[in-house]
Each structure stands twice: as C-alpha cells, then as structure tokens.
Structure 1
Amino acid sequence: MTTLLTLDPGGTTGYSLWSVNDSDPIRLLEHGQWQSGIDGVISNQVVICRADILVSESFVDDGRTPKPDVQALRIEGALMTMRALAGQSAPIFQRNVYKAHAPDELLRRTGYWKKGQPHATDAIRHAIAWAKTRGHRPTIESLWPVPEMN
C-alpha cells in the first residue's frame, strides 16, 4: 500500500491521508485540521515523513491580499526540510487553482465534503486533483462515472 498525504497549509493546516494503489480508487483513511501554523505542522512530523507521497498547496502571492499571511510559505520550507532529513521524496506542490478539479458538488455527491472543516476539505480537493492530473484511472472512473447510454 502506498500512502498519500495532502495538505492545505496555513494558520490552520488541513490534511487528508489516503491509501493508493494502481487498481482501486484512492481511499480516504483520515482527515482533519492541525492548528498553530508551522508549530502544528512540525508536531505532526511523523505523519508527514511516513507518507510515501506528499502533496501540498503552494503559497503564491498573487497581489489580491494587501498583507498576505506567509505562514504557508514557512510551512513549505519545513516540509521540504523534514522530507529531505527523513530520506523521503520532496513534496509535490500544487497551485490553489488545482482545487477546481474537485468542486463542492463533487465533494458533496461523493461524501468527501467535511462540514465545519474547510481546510481538511481543501486537502481532500488536492488529493482528488493529484489523482486526476496523474490520470489515476480507477479514481477518475469512480468520481466521474460515464453515464450509461440506453
């Protein structure tokens, strides 16, 4: 079994942990939200370093926010350092626009919508985006079934 950990980093960091193989859709094992910004992420170093694949949203200052919170940027650096020290592959960073691969309607229809946990829900979006953009056929077919023709 391969494990995939996806993160939506920030003051509150959303996470989702998945089981991945070549023949089945990705399977959600755990999800939640870590508080306290970078301190909360560092306190979960064991989870971060045990995951086979780590996907995290990347921080981009797009100019829309006058005083952007750079906590996510600090977390990116910590993730790269933790993974390197553990001998694990570097994190895969996704822009926030990747979340569009998993709109609210899809999450509600499939049971992946986590009411009251917006950051965990965004971490789930990143996992679905990862599977979709890598062409993980079992996940794609389970989330976007082709309608039967009569």
Structure 2
Amino acid sequence: MSVLLALDPGGRTGWSLWRFDAITPITHLEHGTVEGGLDGFIAWWKVEGWQPDVVVSETFVLDGRTPKPDITPLKIEGALSVLFPGWVGQRNVMKRHAPDAFLKEHGLWWPGKGHDRDSARHAIAWAKTNLHRPTLDAYWGRRRGLEIAA
C-alpha cells in the first residue's frame, strides 16, 4: 500500500493523507491544516515524521493579479524540495478535477476554511491525471461514460 500526502501550501497549509495501490482507489485517511507559514510547516513535518511515497502540492504562480502577493507558498515549495525531493507540483487549475459537488458526492467534503479540502482536490487530480485505474473506476467509472484505456 502506498501513501500520498497532498498539500495546499500557504500561511495556513492544508494537507490530506491518502492510501492507494494497484487495486485500491485513492482512499482518504486524514486531513488538517498547519498554521505558521514556512516555520509552522517545517515544524509540523518534523513532528509528523512524514515518509509518504508521493507528495503532491499546489505550486505558486506569480500571475500579476495581486499587487503584493504572499510568497509563503513559494518558500514552502523550497522546503519541500529539501524534505521530499521529487514532489509533484500542480497548478491551482488542477483543483477543477474535484469540485465541491464531487467531494460531497464521495464523502470527501468537510467543513472549515477549505485549505485542507483544496489539498484533497490535488490528491484526486493527481490520481485522475496519472490514470490510476482503480480511482478512475471508483470515482467516475463507466456508468458516467468515462472510458479510459486499460
């Protein structure tokens, strides 16, 4: 069984932990948020002693929409590159693979400020875009007309 850690980094970093394998769809284990920006993230990582098989995180993009953007996510990306080389970055648009209606339908929507829910969206997007067949079958399946080559 493999473990995936999904992150939505920032001043308040959302996280969710998942398990999966060749026959098991991505399955939610736990979730939460980490306060304190970069320092809080590093302290949390050390306390938890994370050793996931896959880490997926939203990536910071300077798009010019904000005059003084918060670059905390970029700092966390740097730390993540040291703590877990080979982590997978995703643009924020990847979250569209798991909108609120999808999360609610599959029991993956939980109350709160949403950063942990956004991490769940990144986990689902990772499984979907990597064509993880058990996840595709479990969450989309052929009943909705989604045909994915085996």
What is the TM-score when the length of structure 1 is the normalising length?
0.90
3-state SS in 1 of match to 2:126: helix
The aligned runs of 1:43-58 (5 Å cut-off) are 43-46=43-46, 47=48, 49-58=50-59
Could you say which residue in structure 2 is the equivalent of 1:138? Answer: 134
Could you say which residue in structure 2 is the equivalent of 1:81? Answer: 82
Deviation at 1:40, TM superposition (A): 1.5
Deviation at 1:147, TM superposition (A): 2.5
Cα-Cα RMSD = 1.6
Alpha-carbon separation, structure 1, partners of 2:142 and 2:5:
28
Alpha-carbon separation, structure 1, partners of 2:105 and 2:25:
16
What is the percent sequence identity of the aligned residues? 50
More deviation, 45-54/110-119? 45-54
Alpha-carbon separation, structure 2, partners of 1:129 and 1:55:
10
3-state SS in 2 of match to 1:100: helix
Q: How many residues align?
A: 144
Distance change in 2, residues 1:48/1:146 (3 Å): farther
Deviation at 1:106, TM superposition (A): 0.2
Matched, 1:2 2:2: yes
Unaligned runs of 5+ in 1: 84-88
> Retained in 2: the 8 A contact 1:38–1:75?
yes
Could you say which residue in structure 1 is the equivalent of 2:27? Answer: 27
1:42-79: per-residue Cα shift (whole Å, max 9, x none)?
01224474111111100001111111100000000000
Q: Which amino acid aligns with 1:59?
A: F
Alpha-carbon separation, structure 1, partners of 2:140 and 2:124:
11
Alpha-carbon separation, structure 1, partners of 2:100 and 2:37:
25
Deviation at 1:117, TM superposition (A): 3.8
Could you say which residue in structure 2 is the equivalent of 1:112? Answer: 108
Alpha-carbon separation, structure 2, partners of 1:117 and 1:48:
25
Alpha-carbon separation, structure 2, partners of 1:10 and 1:81:
17
What is the TM-score when the length of structure 2 is the normalising length?
0.90
